[in-house]
Amino acid sequence: MIIVDTALKARAEAGAPVRVGMIGAGFMGRGIANQIINSVPGMELVAIYNRHLDGARRAYQEAGVETIQTVSTLAKLEDAITKGKPAVTEDASLLCKTENIDALVEVTGTIEFGAQIVMEAINNQKHVILMNAELDGTVGPLLKVYADRAGVILSNCDGDQPGLEVNLYRYVKSIGFTPLLCGNVKGLQDRYRNPTTQKSFAAKWKQAAHMVTSFADGTKISYEQAIVANATGMQVARRGMLGYEFSGHVDDMTHLYDVEQLKSLGGIVDYVVGAQPAASVFIYATNDDPKHHHYLKYYKRGEGPLYSFYTPYHICHFEVPLSLARAVLFNDAVMAPLGKPRVDVVASAKTDLKEGETLDGIGYYMTYGQCENADVALAQKLLPMGLAEGCKLKRSIAEDAVITYDDVILPEGRFCDRLRFEQDAYFATAV
């Protein structure tokens, strides 16, 4: 975003940097911390929350910051920020309450805790950037309602595939095309992967085994495409998405899709396995002006009717500061739900499950998530993947069967369940 760097430069020259607090200091959080501290003039990472202080300190230390203040009260946090002392805390609510933070970036990957802290941030008039597709895909539409009421930005982020897709979608629309497909390229899709099969890969890249499992078993890409759908108004062509395998370039793949079907659905989100460029995102769009078709042939964009646009890489944490700047300086969300949910991620059995078992979490052994159109999921009472962890099975479930609310006993007292029920009720009457 060319305009963002100019705006940040002005803030740096004025001695008024954008002040950021970070919730979570894991693998991606440490990358974001390093990026803000060492590569983004005009922005400061003033405080980090983590469950364990050592993790928060590590994020600062790996970025070259050695003088760090531990705080446990709001007064101490505000004093530290005022004096320019980076602060760490085990109390996330302090970052929500202080007036000395302009925006928060939420990087926990959690549902229950993430929902609580984002709601508290919104209630305290804080802009929130999510690097948490799982939370966004579970209760993001309702959180957006609350953010709008509070007059703050709730947005997912630049850098990762969903943000790149929506940036590209906005660009394609801005030059007069009609986007009909938002796509995501994967290298692997195997819904039966688990932390045991992914242990060595996780160790190689210094990530948690359950996290990389969610990449491999399709849960993560389901959340990513669900939030793209909710931000664009698109749907899925079928449960689980089409998910073609294709070894060529994304420019050469348009023939796999039926343009009339795409139009009838109002556009779809999808993924493809094996296409090139690897780790890219793409948009397929039409242009109904026949005068442009000659130009598009001249520009080597093909014969149509679908025209391909793509971003050949994603570099995740490097671009998250741009999202924070867009929210604070321009009141612009990278991507946020338009309103009523369009696509949900539903829990499905990774193996045969037995009555009485308690479901484990995202990226573990018992379930995987797959996309389903939200109206279908609601009508069939399908269990959102984001609520599956901790549910006790009332009956046995066969491998690959979707799980319904009627199949489980929900844990008592969860905030995320209350928000989800409120979301379903709120949008039941929305047009």
Q: Exposure pattern of 222-250 as b/e (b: 16+ CB <10 Å)?
A: bbbbbbbbbbbebbbbeebbbbeeeeeeb
Per the prediction, the chain carries an average pLDDT of: 95
The residues facing 20 across adjacent strands are 45, 103
Given this chain, do its domains 2-159+318-330 and 343-428 carry the same CATH topology?
Answer: no
The full set of domain ranges for the chain reads: 2-159+318-330, 161-316, 343-428
Rounded CA separation 126/293 (Å): 46
**pLDDT (tens digit per residue) in 163-172:** 999 999 999 9
**Phi and psi torsions of 370, nearest 5°:** -140, 150
Rounded (10°) angle between helices 133-150 and 112-123: 20
Task: Please name the amino acid found at residue 156.
Answer: N
| Res 140: pLDDT | 98
Check: CB of residue 150 under 8 Å from CB of residue 126: no
400: exposed, middle or buried (C-beta count within 10 Å: 0-12, 13-18, 19+)? middle
Q: How confident is the model at residue 430 (pLDDT cuts 50, 70, 90)?
A: low
Distances in Å between the alpha carbon of 227 and those of 72, 103, 186? 35, 21, 17
Tell whether the model's pLDDT for residue 431 goes beyond 60: no
Tell whether the model's pLDDT for residue 365 goes beyond 90: yes
Topology of domain 2-159+318-330, per CATH?
A: Rossmann fold (3.40.50)
For 343-428, CATH number?
A: 3.90.1210.10
- CB hemisphere CA count around 21 (13 angstroms): 32
Tell whether the model's pLDDT for residue 197 goes beyond 60: yes
Q: How confident is the model at residue 1 (pLDDT cuts 50, 70, 90)?
A: low
